[in-house]
Structure 1
Amino acid sequence: MTVTETLDVTMTPPSGGQILHQTDRATVIWGDSRDPAVITQVPDGYGLLCTDPPYGIRYNSGRSSTFTEIAGDDGSVDWPGVLAEWVGTVGRTRGLAPSRHVYVFGYPPDQLASPMRLGGTASLVWDKLDIGSGDLTSPWGPGHEPITFGVHVKRRSDRESGAGNLSARLRRGSVLRYPRPGRGRARHSNEKPVLLMADLIESSTVRGELVVDPCAGSGSTGVAAVLEGRRCFLVEIDRTHAELTVQRVAAAERLAAQMEGL
C-alpha cells in the first residue's frame, strides 16, 4: 500500500493528478476528472460508473456553512460531456465495459442518454427521510435527490435496436430510502450514505469488479465498493476531500480484510 502524506501542498492538482493511495482494492487520485491525462489512467472494461457530479446549483443553504462551494458547481462545466469521456466516447471501445451500468446523481436521463450512449434508462429517487435546509427562501425543503440509471451501449445501431432496454426494465423499486448523514456528522455538503451507495453497487456488479467514481467527494462510493468486495478507482479535485477519501477507504480496507479473515 502506498499513501502520500504532505503538509505543504498546492490546492490545484497537477496534470495527470497525484496518486494518494493505491492498493489491490482501491486507487485514489487527487486530480481533475476533466483532465485527459487522468481519464486515461482508469482501466478499460471496468464494471460500473457511479458518481455524483456537481449540479451547477452553487450549494448554498442561505445561512453560514462549514462547507465551501464545490469545484465545478458554477454551471460552467458540461458534466454529461465529461462523463462521456469516462465511459468512452463515440468510436471507442475503451472505458466502461459494454452493456454495463451507470448511476449519475442530479441529472435527468434526457441529458445523459446521448453523450453517455445509454441504451436504456430509469429515473430513481433517493428519499433522504428528512427535509434539508436547501435554499431557505423557498417554501419547500428538498427531501430527495434524483438518480439516473442507465445501460451503456457502445454501438449506435445496438441502441437504436433497443439493446439495453431490458436491463433497465428489470431494476427493482425506483425509490431508495436511506437517511442522509446526520447533522454535524457529514463531511461534505453532498455526502451520500454508504448504505445507499452499497445498494447501487451490489445491484449492478459482482465481487471483484471495478467501480469508478470521477467525482469522489468524501469517498462514500469507494467505502461502499470495498465493503461490498469490489474494487474502486476514485478521483477528487479538492485536496482536503481527497485526503479524507484516502482515510475512509483505508479504514474500509482494514475492515474488509478483517471480515475476510473470519
Structure 2
Amino acid sequence: MTDTLDLPLTPPPGGEVLYQSDRCTLIWGDCTDPAVIASVPNHYGLLCTDPPYGVNFRSNIGRNFDLLAGDDGSVDWAVVLGSWARRLATHRHVYVFGYTPAELTEPLQLGPTAELVWDKLMTGMGDLSQPWGPGHERLVFGVSSANPAHGGTARKGMLAARMRQGSVLRVPRKNATAVTRHPTEKPVALMSQLIESSSVRGDLVVDPCAGSGSTLVAAILEGRRAFGVEIDRKYAELAVTRIKAAEKIAAAIEAA
C-alpha cells in the first residue's frame, strides 16, 4: 500500500485513476466534479452507493476516524447523484443508502421505487440518552427513467436475478471493535445481495462514493465489472488493496 504521507490530500480536477483492470476502475477524485462524472461510461448497469448523509458523522470508536468528506451538509447529494443517474441505462436500478424515495425520485428521475431496510442484527450506539438504539439503516431502491436514449431492458426494471424478495435485508454488521477500515463500511454480503438482485454478470456497477470499496469488491466477486470514485486518498488506497484481493479470488473461481 502506498505511503499516503507524501501524497497530496486533494485530488486533481478530473480525478486520477488509481487502479484500472478489465474488472475494475477506481478513481481518486471528487464525485461532484463534472469531469469525473463524465468519465463513467454511458448506459452502465447499476448505480449502488452510500453517500454521506450530511450529518457531520464522526465515529466514536476509539476516535479512529476523521470527519467524512462531504458530510458537512454543504453538498446536495440528491442533485449530485442525479447527474450520475443520467448516465445509467434507462429501466436499470439504483440503490442509495440513507434517503427516502420522496427525496430521490425527482432528482434521480426514478420510476418505481421502494424503501428497503437493512437489519443489522445488532444494536448500534446511537444517542445513549435514548432508550432505543439504532439496529437498522434505510435505503432506496429505484428504477431509472432518466434517459430513454441510453436504452436498457424492455422489462422496465424487472431484472432481478433472484426471486422476488422482501424489503428487509438481514445481514449482520461488524461489531464496534471490528470496524477498522471505514466508519460506515457496508458488509460485502449486503452489497452482493443488492448487486445480484439488480444486475447480470458482466454488467458495470458504479459507486461514486466508494469509501473502502465494499461495493466494488462485491461486484467483482459477483462476476460484474466495477467503477468507483473516492475522494479520501487513504480510503481509495485501501479500496485498491481490497479490489486486487477480490480479483485474485474471482480469477481463481473462474479457473477452477
- What is the Cα-based RMSD across aligned positions, in Å? 2.1
| Residue 198 (str. 1) matches residue 196 (str. 2) | no
8 A contact 2:23–2:226 mirrored in 1: yes
Bigger shift: residues 95-104 or 59-68? 59-68
CA deviation after TM superposition for structure 1 residue 70, in Å: 0.5
The residue number in structure 2 matching 1:86 is: 84
**In structure 2, do the counterparts of structure 1 residues 8 and 240 end up closer, same or farther at CA, with 3 Å as the change threshold?**
same
TM-score normalised per structure 1: 0.88
State the AA in 1 paired with 2:122. Answer: D
Distance 1:223 1:155 in 2: 28
Structure 1 segment 1-262 matched on structure 2, within 5 A:
8-60=6-58, 64-88=62-86, 95-154=87-146, 164=156, 171-186=164-179, 187-262=181-256
CA deviation after TM superposition for structure 1 residue 141, in Å: 1.4
**In structure 2, do the counterparts of structure 1 residues 188 and 62 end up closer, same or farther at CA, with 3 Å as the change threshold?**
closer
8 A contact 1:61–1:133 mirrored in 2: no
Equivalenced residue count is 247
CA deviation after TM superposition for structure 1 residue 68, in Å: 1.0
**In structure 2, do the counterparts of structure 1 residues 167 and 119 end up closer, same or farther at CA, with 3 Å as the change threshold?**
farther
**In structure 2, do the counterparts of structure 1 residues 222 and 63 end up closer, same or farther at CA, with 3 Å as the change threshold?**
closer
CA deviation after TM superposition for structure 1 residue 182, in Å: 3.0
Distance 1:86 1:19 in 2: 18
8 A contact 2:47–2:206 mirrored in 1: yes
Distance 1:59 1:28 in 2: 24
What 5-or-longer segments of structure 2 have no aligned partner? Answer: 149-154
CA deviation after TM superposition for structure 1 residue 216, in Å: 0.4
Distance 1:29 1:4 in 2: 15
Distance 1:184 1:121 in 2: 35
State the AA in 2 paired with 1:249. Answer: I
Distance 2:170 2:26 in 1: 28
Q: Deviations over 1:157-191 (max 9, x none)?
A: xxxxxx958779x9520000001123332211111
**In structure 2, do the counterparts of structure 1 residues 258 and 61 end up closer, same or farther at CA, with 3 Å as the change threshold?**
closer
CA deviation after TM superposition for structure 1 residue 137, in Å: 3.4
**In structure 2, do the counterparts of structure 1 residues 6 and 154 end up closer, same or farther at CA, with 3 Å as the change threshold?**
same
Distance 1:123 1:184 in 2: 30
**In structure 2, do the counterparts of structure 1 residues 63 and 5 end up closer, same or farther at CA, with 3 Å as the change threshold?**
closer
8 A contact 1:4–1:20 mirrored in 2: no
CA deviation after TM superposition for structure 1 residue 4, in Å: 7.8
